[in-house]
Structure 1
C-alpha cells in the first residue's frame, strides 16, 4: 500500500510537471487542462482568492483540515493537489469507494514515517461521505496530532454524511456549481489547446447549459467533438443528435437556461399562468431536462405558496411521479398541470421567511435547553432532577390547549411564522390568533 501511495504521489507530480506525458500526451482533455496553481482554478475564487479561506491559509503557509463540499466537476480534486504544492506538503490521495480501515491504517503509518523525516502529508479522501461512522472515527487521532492534514471531498451535505466529531476538527468549504461564465472560460482554455470547437454560437451556449455546472463533463463533451473531426459547425439541434443528449436550444436573442428558469419562477410567483406556461414550453421544447423543471416547481410550491394552498406541494410531487411513470412526452402534461396549479394558487412566502428567521435564531442562540417540564424522563435519575415535572397534557386541558410555555429559559417567545390573509393561510392565521388569546387568558 505504501508503494501504491508513492506511485500516486509520482503520478500527481507528473500531471503537474510541464512537458510530461500526462500534461501533453494522450491524457484526457480535462487532465491536460488541470490548473497548475490555485489562481488558475475557475469559479471558486470565493475560497481560493486572497480573501478566501484557502487563500488565507496558503498565504500563512499553514493548512487546517477541511471538507470540500460541492457538485461534481467543480474542482475539488484539483484544489487539494494544488494545496499540497502551495505549502510544500506530500500529497496522498485515496478514494472511499475502494478503500477500507486497513488501507487507512497503512496510509497513516506511511505518513508517520514521512513526518519523522520532516515531510508533512496532505491526505486527500475523495467521496469521504462513503466511509461509515466507524471508519470516519479512524481519522480522528491522526488529524488531532497532526500526522496528516485531512482534505475530504464530498458531494453530500456534510451535516448528514459526516459525523460530528470529524466535522468539529475540519472546516467545511463550499464549492459552487460552475456558472455559464466559468464554463465558457473552461471552453476557451480548451480551444487555446485544441482549436475552435465545431459549433455555432447558439450550439456553444447549449453545450454549456447542458453541462449543468460540471466542468469535467463539459470538457468530456468538448473532447468528443474534437475527436469526431467534424467538417462543419453543428447547430443546437445537430449537437443534440450528435451527442445523443438533449440540450437546450437558444433563440436568436440568446436567452439562456438560467434566464428562462428565472422567468418561469417569477411568472408563477406573479400569478401569470399564461406567461408561466410560455416559459415552461420554451424550456421543454428546447430539450430541458423535465426533472430539473419539476425540482424548481417543487421549490416554488414551498417558497412562494406554502400553506396558502397546501395542495400545491402535493400537485408537484404527483406530477413528478406521473412523469417518471409515463415518461416523455406523455408525462410532460402533468408538468404543465403542476405549473398552472402553482401559477393560479394563492401566494404566500410566510413559510420561506419563517424558515430563514428560525434558522437565524437557532444559529444565534446555540444549545439552549428546552424547559424541564417538556423533557422526557425515561430514567429515575431524570425524574429526580425534574425532567417532565409539571407537564400539561394538552388533550386533557379545556379546548385541547394547555397554554404552556415551550421556549427555552433565556429566550423570549419569537414570531417566525406570520400567515397572510390569503388562501388557506387565512384560516391558519385565525387559529394562531385564537391560541394566542387563550394563552394570554390562561397565563393571567
Structure 2
C-alpha cells in the first residue's frame, strides 16, 4: 500500500478500479480536486497516480467480503467517507465495502437486484412499473417455449451482462435457435455468476427510440441529469455505435417521466448513488429495459458534462460520501459520440489516427483506442472491444453535431499491420 500526503480536510473516497484512461480519466481528474482518492486495484496504478492520495494492490477486486476486510483495516487508521465504483462487474463487490463501513449505497442485495436482470424484472413487475414481458430460461427448448408464449419477435439476452453484450433480436423459431447459441456462448472476463439455473432471458420486443438516463440519487430523491439518445447498429445484434445528449432534452422536464424514475428506484430499493437506466420510448409510453447501479459507459456522462457543465464525477463522489450534489447547469448544448470499427474480421491494426486538419471545430475529442498490432473484428465478435477509435462533438443542435461526427469518420485513417 502507498499513501500520499493529501489535504486532510478533504473527504477520503475509496475508489474500486478505474478502467481505460481514454474512457474514465474525465471522472477521476475532477474528483481529485475535491476528494482524496484511495484506489483499490489489481495492478500498480499508472495514469491514475497524479490523481491519487494512495492505493492498495489486491489479488482480486471482485471478491466483496475480501475487499470489505481490506477496507476495514484501512478505515481503522483513517476513516473513509465514501465508496465509489463505476465498473459494472465490481459494483456489487464495492457495495460490500460500503456495508461494512456503514457508508451510502451499502446494501449488496440492492446492487445485486440491479445486476441480476431477472431480479430487476421481478421487483419492477411487483411494483407495476411498465416493462417488457420477460421469461427466464436455461435451455434452447425453454427459450422456444417462452418465445411462443410472448410472440415473435423476441429479445434473447444473458441475465446479467451489460453494454448489450450477448443480446440479439430473433423473429422466428429458426432464428432463435441460432440466436440462442450466440447468447449462450457469449462470455465476459467478469467472473460473477448469475442464476445458474436460468441464466438467460427471453423478452418481449418493444419498439421505439431507445434512450438512457443518468440519474443521481440522494436520500431517495432521484434527479435525472443526462438523457442519451442511443444509436444502435449491426442488426440483429444491439451494438451501441453512438449517443446524443441534449442539455434541454424534453424528458428532463417531463413530470410523468420523473415520476416513473422515482417509482423505478423505489421498487428496486436504490436510495443513494448514481444509476444508468435504459428505456424504450414506445407508442404506449416508456418501457424500462434495465437499471445499472453506476455511471453510464460509452462516455455518456462525459457528453452530459460537455452539454450542461454539470460534472458527473463530482456529483457521484459527493453522494457516495453522503453529501448533496451540485447540479447547476452552466451550459446548454447538444453533444454526441460515435464509435468506429474495422470492416473485416481479424483485422491487424498497423495504426489508427485522424487527419486532424480535416476535423471541424465542433469536434471535441478524436481518440484512437486500438493499439498497433491489435487484432480486432466488427460486431458481433468485436462488440465493445472491437472499437478502434471514437470522436465526440458539441454543437448547437443534433444535426450540426451529427455532421461533425460524419466529418470525423471521414477523417479516420486506419492502416493495416
Q: Which structure would you say has the larger Rg?
A: 1
Q: Which has the higher contact order (CA 8 A, sep 6+)?
A: 2
Which one has the bigger helix percentage? 1
Give TM-score, length-normalised by structure 2: 0.25
Give TM-score, length-normalised by structure 1: 0.24
